Amino acid sequence: MTDSPAPAVESIPFIVELLRESYDAGRLRTIDSRQGQLRQLQRMLIEQEEALLAAMAADLAKPPMEAYAAEIGLVLSEIKHALKNLDAWCAPERVKVQISFKPGSAEIVPEPLGVVLIIAPWNYPTQLLLAPLVGALAAGNTAVLKPSEVAPATAAAMAKLIPQYLDERLVRVVTGGVEETTALLAEKFDHIFYTGNGTVGRIVMTAAAKNLTAVTLELGGKSPAIVAADADIDVTARRLAWGKFLNAGQTCVAPDYVLVDATVEDKLMGALLRAVHDFYGDDPKSSTDYGRIVNERHWDRLTALLDAGGYDSTVCGGHGDRATKFLPPTVLAGVKADAAVMHEEIFGPILPVLAVDDIDEAIRFVNDRDKPLALYVFSSSDDTVDRVIERTSAGGVCVNHAVLQVGVGELPFGGVGASGMGSYHGKAGFDTFSHRKSVLRKPTKPDPSILYPPYKSWKYRLVRRFM
Ligand code: NAD
């Protein structure tokens, strides 16, 4: 598939204006109209599955199983869930009023925000562009979609397919890179939903501040996996290897590094080695189930992390092949806390393993660093698991598995602190793109004079009594 031309930067203000006119005209005011667009998006994903799988294969050598489960299928589940629950989500929520406000009734009425901007990264280029769109459309917003230029085949597919299925007055795709995103950020939106790295997250938030536009920032960071001495090591190793080497490690919630109880370190290393072998065979390069690094820049960055040392040995993997952007599943043993690989989010198929004396040391290690997007704990003891959950902070936690928390429709997905702000998926996605408007309804009769001047002392006494 060829790169589709980005709309000229000069046309961006007109695109946003058109979406605002459609919003103001109430084109997505009814539940029916929102469901109509969601069904069209559903049709697109079903009818264009092959085209989308091919685009993701071109960008990341994504195996169809991974591209379906973590991208197309995940968005389809989001759509199904939204279609099923939209009536309930849109219904005003009655709340109690205190006696002093009676007679009267109060409710929270969800209303759309207006015109929203969704900026997506390259690693899950279908899911991370379209799953936020499900929430935005369900809540009744018009949207500009900005796919990542780093996954050009998928960006081109979106630019071609979305106008064929969705109403162009409601959803527009703007392809391109920094120049186009900068031009978009100069416009006034009613919400900006950004997924990507924290450096650009700051640029987005600064631009949004000029218009007092609220933002959702879905960022990354180093997500730890804690392995206790009583964990089922074989299962733990398989789940860690799966979560880490899925999409060649280019997953925001991939276990970034492992903190293992020193007493089971060797056992875990052996089990990781077996798991990698079972998954990808003797030669992962020839496995069709293993992806590629997105571009040479990232391949160089990852290779430099390996070259910088700070670890005792390579249990498996190591250097790859720049020409094909292949980097093997790599497990590092005896990693020092100050190794280069521990400085920044790895975002590639390198798994550093660090030994700790006990769970408390692991908890301290995690708490000494930025709050992660995900935290994994492997243990057969509920007490250990609960201790880790209570004493650490993370966007989300998965116990005895990796990555799967992202797929649970009604679990909000988002970060905390340096890993982001705000969340989406299921009802959380609808809420992110809605304003919960407070409405108090009062009858005109009776009309007691208690609140009105002149403020007699009996009124003051009465107010004090009821508040
Ligand atoms: P990226 O390079 O594709 O950038 C994301 C978007 O930002 C793109 O659309 C790009 O055009 C735009 N952009 C880039 N530079 C810009 C600039 N200077 N000004 C304005 N816009 C700009 O993706 P990335 O940042 O490399 O993505 C990887 C990061 O995203 C990792 O940190 C990962 O953990 C994080 N991530 C988070 C989630 C999540 O859901 N929390 C999901 C995936 C990735």
Q: Which of 380, 349, 139, 328 is nearest to 240 (CA)?
A: 349
Structure tokens at 436: 């919960």
* Contacts of residue 30, Cβ cutoff 8 Å, sequence gap at least 6: none
Question: 31 C-alpha to center of ligand 1: Å?
Answer: 32
CB 82, CB 131: distance < 8 Å: no
Q: Whose CA is nearest to atom 28 of ligand 1?
A: 196
pLDDT digits (tens, 9 = 90+) for 325-360: 999 999 999 999 999 999 999 999 999 999 999 999
Residue reference for tokens 């309804």 = 441
Q: Residue 193 and residue 422: Cα distance in Å, rounded?
A: 9
Q: Whose CA is nearest to atom 30 of ligand 1?
A: 196
The single residue of 78, 187, 218, 265 carrying the catalytic annotation is: 218
Q: Residue 425 and residue 81: Cα distance in Å, rounded?
A: 10
Question: 201 C-alpha to center of ligand 1: Å?
Answer: 8
pLDDT reading at 2 higher than 70: no
Residue 6 confidence (pLDDT): 59
Going by pLDDT thresholds of 50, 70 and 90, the confidence category of residue 8 is confident
218 is catalytic: yes
Q: Residue 450 and residue 17: Cα distance in Å, rounded?
A: 48
Domains of the chain (ranges, CATH numbers): 9-219+417-439 (3.40.605.10), 224-412 (3.40.309.10)
187 is catalytic: no
Q: If phi over 0 gives left and psi between -120 and 50 gives alpha, with beta otherwise, what is residue 260?
A: beta
Q: Tell me the pairing of strands 171-173 and 313-316.
A: unpaired
Phi, psi of 106 (to 5 degrees): -130, 150
Question: 150 C-alpha to center of ligand 1: Å?
Answer: 9
Residue 466 confidence (pLDDT): 86
pLDDT digits (tens, 9 = 90+) for 275-334: 999 999 999 999 999 999 999 999 999 999 999 999 999 999 999 999 999 999 999 999
Q: Residue 304 and residue 298: Cα distance in Å, rounded?
A: 10
